[in-house]
Amino acid sequence: MGRISKAEQKREQIIWALRDLLSERGHESITIKDIASRAGVPHGVIHYYFKSKVEIYSCLVKAIQKHYDKLWEERRNTREAAPSTGAGLSDPEFMIDKLVFNSNFGRVFYNLLHMGFEHEEIKKALLDMYRHYHAELTRVFEIDGAGENSQALASLVQAIVEGLTILRSIDKDALGRDRALGLLTWAISSCLSKSA
């Protein structure tokens, strides 16, 4: 893979600066000047790389998807064939640790979700991300033996993970990691055993 250009580096710098800001506060209070300051670039330069603030948000959604795809692929490449949780390739530990118990992810994701209600471009990027992860989970559950229930199980797991992420975003003490992992693992294992 070739090196990325200076323009691509600047775009990434700006995108991840936005992510950092969204992990700290609500999107409605973030300005282009804030993003530029966090990225370490003059605020007038932002419009050289992005048409609008909405485009930066949309690109952030895509960058988050690529980031988590890479993390999940690395995890699958390095872990044993059968995880300690016994849930096959679906890897509930990854979902709990990298999504539910990552408070920065929760805050950023729900800021982006709120923006999706207001801007069609962001909504489309979020929908693409949701469909991508649904297809990935469906594929994993097919490999794990869920058969014709793979799509339904993928939807169920996405709903559980998103629900737990909301709960943790609102009340960090509501559910411990082991309990959340146990619930997700139980749901997956129960559905897989009924499919067998």
pLDDT of the residue at 84: 47
For residue 163, give the CATH number of its domain. Answer: 1.10.357
Residue 132 is assigned to a structural domain of this protein: yes
Residue 94 is assigned to a structural domain of this protein: yes
pTM for this structure? 0.87
Residue 12 is assigned to a structural domain of this protein: no
CA nearest to 167, candidates 118, 108, 100: 100
Residues 23 and 104: beta-carbon distance below 8 Å: yes
Residue 188 is assigned to a structural domain of this protein: yes
pLDDT of the residue at 85: 45
Largest CA distance in the chain: 59
Residue 44 is assigned to a structural domain of this protein: no
Residue 27 is assigned to a structural domain of this protein: no
Six token digits for residue 75: 């995890």
Residue 63: pLDDT band (50, 70, 90) is very high
Phi-psi region of 145 (alpha: psi -120 to 50; beta: other; left: phi over 0): left
What is the average pLDDT across 149-176?
91
Domain that holds residue 121: 53-195
